[in-house]
Structures are given as C-alpha cells and as structure tokens.
Amino acid sequence: TPDLHDLYGKAFEERYEHYESQNLPRAKKVNALDQWRKMLTMLFETGHPWITFKDAMNVRNPQDHAGVIHSSNLCTEIALNTSTDETAVCNLASLNLSHMVVDGKLDQEKIEKTVSIGIRMLDNVIDNNFYPTEEARKANLKHRAIGLGIMGYQNAIYKMGFAYDSQDNMTFADRSMEMVSYYAILASSKLSKERGSYESYKGSKWDRGIFPIDSVDLLEKQRGEAIDLDRSVALDWTPVREHVKAHGMRNCNTMAIAPTATIANISGVYPCTEPAFKNIYMKENLSGNFVVINESLMKDLDDIGAWNDAVLRQIKLNNGSLQGIPEIPEAIRNVYKEVFEVAPEWIVESSARRMKWIDQSASTNIFLKTQSGKILSDTYHMAWKMGLKTTYYLRTLAATQVMKATVQSDSGTEPVSSKKSMESNTVQACSILDPECEACQ
C-alpha cells in the first residue's frame, strides 16, 4: 500500500478502507484498542516514540500545494515537506519572552522590533549557509523555511504573577503567541516586498489568503468533528493580510518552538514553554557540583520576609516542591508549582492555544506523575481533539528517590520513604503496568 505514505485526512481514510475491502492475501486484522495500548505502554516505559498527528500537520501545512509532510525533525517542532529530491531544512532562533514583559505586561513595541530583527537574521542565514547535500540546498533556497520560537515562557509568567495551571496563563499563552505570529508573518512579508517572494509561493496557503489561524477550521472540516479550541483573536490582522496579499511572503514557514535546552541554560531562563522542572536541584559540570535555586522564588519569598534557612531546609526535604510547607503563603505555592504538580491538561491546552498561531509546530513534552493508563490515554486524546500537530517526550517520575539523611527539619517533618510515597501515589484502579487492566477499554 505505498500510496498511503503520501495521503492524509479523508483521502487516507477512503484509500485505507479501499484496501480493507480488497481482502489482500498478506493482510491481517489487528484490534485498534490493543494497538493503542501497545503504543501507550511503549511511551510509558521509554518516553517515546513520540506521537504526532499526520492530518493536523498536513491539513494546516502552508505548503500543501508543494508536497507532503512525512515526518518532523527529532524534536517534533519542524513541519516541512520532504521528497526524494528535497531534504527539509529549517533555520531556528528563539525569542526570550521573559525580556518582553515590562511592568507586568507584554511590551508590544519591543516584540515587534525583536521579531523583525530575528526574521531578517534567519532569512540571511539561508543565503550564507553551508549545505552538505544538494537536496538540502535546493529545498532551503526554494522554500526558505525559517522557525522563530520562544523560550523563557515560565520566567515571563513569574513576572506576570500567575500560576501555570490557571486561565490567566491560558490567555497569556494565546495572546503572547498571537503577537509573535503577527509580527513574524508581517516581517517576512516586508522582506518579500524588499527581496522578493520565495520561489514556491504561488499556490501556497499564503497566496490563497489562508493564515495559520484560518487553517484550524480546515482541519475541523476535514475531520468532520469539532476542534475543541478557543478561536479568539485580539489583534487587528487586516493590515497583515493586506500586506501579504500585495507583496507575498519571503519564507514558506516562519515559526517553530524548539526545546531550547542549551540556549535557555546559556540565557539563564527556563526552556521553551514548559513549567519549571524543579525549584531547587543539583547541577554538576567540570567545575564541580552546584545547588541551583529558582531566583524568582527567592526574590518573592525575600520580599515577604520568608526566605530563611528553615524554609530552605523544608524546600530541600520536599525535593524542591513548595506544597505542604505552611510557612510559604498559598498564593506563592500556586505560582511556583513544579511541572509534575501541574495537571497535563494545562500543558496541552496552553500548547494548543499557541499552536493555532504557528505555521510549523512546537516541542511539547507531556509530564505525567501517575501510572493511570486512562489518564495517559485521555491526555493524548485531548491533544488530538485540540488540534495539536505534534507531541514530544512523555516524562514520568521515578518510582524511588534519594533518601535525605543529612538534612534536618526545624519543624520535625520526616522524609517520606520511597515505599510510602509509592503507595500514596499509585492509582490502583487503573495501571498501565498491569497487563490485565481493562479500565482503559
């Protein structure tokens, strides 16, 4: 069935059903729930292979007239066509969103200036690059794909003063990415006016007046069921649409949110759009071991006179978590939840709010602290229903932790043993570790 490789959406479904009706001699029937369970089990045990959605990738592809997206890159944020004579190439940069928050709100003028410089810089890279293969050079010069993303998202909402698992954050995810999208598309169109449109522009979604936000409706129509996603718009997009209509686009794609693990560390911010992994942890390099503490947390506690040795010891005893430390006000505990204290649906929805503005995709790790197969399945179903194009690693917690024998608590709090911790956190009713569990069915 070699043609299925290049099909997606309704066309794939119709062709697949055609092959089913042929009673092919080498075909066999597999129970779909069994197949899904095997996929989830592999995810739970290893963290990958990462689940991505071919229909969302291709139906929303600005370059659907020029080929098919067969796969993403390793980190699942790049969504570009590939073929035997073209190797997808994308040039990336990331906006430090924490620098874009001034006096508790997004600085629109600063975002416009920074994004405009970033888009011009990335377009320059295409012409000055070294290409190891002809297929890579041909694709990059023909389509001129670039990917401007964001990092330091958690730092930005620390400055805003609200929790990751809040409606305020969902709105911020939406509005901040809309602003980046607005100026990224406009900057590429201005470059097109200055330097000319990319070679394969004619017939693209840009040429047809279809922007990323519009393509959500196309996906909904293709699936025949609702995409459960807020479609609100805050900016006046008319000037951008008119500019693209008049002058085209310099780049076939303009946005992609990469993991940014290394450059975020260099910049001193949290990677991409994820919640903080830990409020305190040990870092090791060639110079030795270092205790790294959340600087925003230190400042907020210091401002209310609650940063002291006793509180620090409590945070260490709790592996960085603030929950259950009564000396820390509830409002601060809510803002500084670690990633495994944030329910996965908040991460999925915030990613979906950003995804509606992005012409490529975003690295979106899923964090799960439970062994519940139902919750795991529901999380990935939610990602599909909200129109996500890709997901990245499934991150889960270790079953054991290091016993803290040298840290004493002023309040008499005892370290929780590994056995007690496992007993209190394990969901007995539905466990993906139990091969006989039928709750997911």
State the catalytic residue, choosing from 58, 73, 81, 251. Answer: 73
Query: What is the rounded CA–CA span in Å between residue 344 and residue 363?
Result: 15
The three-state secondary structure class of 324 is coil
Catalytic residue among 75, 252, 272, 440: 75
Report residue 271 as tokens. 């990677």
Dihedral sign for Cα atoms in the order 96, 102, 108, 112: negative
Strand ranges inside 38-167, DSSP E: 91-96, 101-102, 105-106, 146-151
User: Which amino acid makes up residue 217?
Assistant: D
Rounded Cα gap, residues 215 and 231, in angstroms: 11
Give the whole-angstrom CA distance, residue 349 versus residue 225: 18
The token pair at 397 is: 């917690």
Q: How far apart are CA 62 and CA 252, in angstroms?
A: 7
Concerning whether 129 is annotated as a catalytic residue, the answer is no
Query: Three-state SS for 252?
Result: coil
Q: Tell me 228's DSSP state.
A: -
Is residue 77 flagged as an active site residue?
yes
CA distance 170 to 230: 10
DSSP string, 98-126: GGGEETTEE-HHHHHHHHHHHHHHHHHHH
Closest residue by Cα to residue 264 from 363, 402, 407, 125 = 363
- How many other β-carbons are positioned within 10 Å of the β-carbon of residue 278? 15
93: β partners = 148
Q: Given the residues 77, 86, 274, 338, select the one marked as catalytic.
A: 77
Contacts of 109 (CB under 8 A, 6+ apart): none
Angle between helix 167-195 and 344-355 (nearest 10): 30
The residues annotated with a catalytic role in the active site are: 73, 75, 77
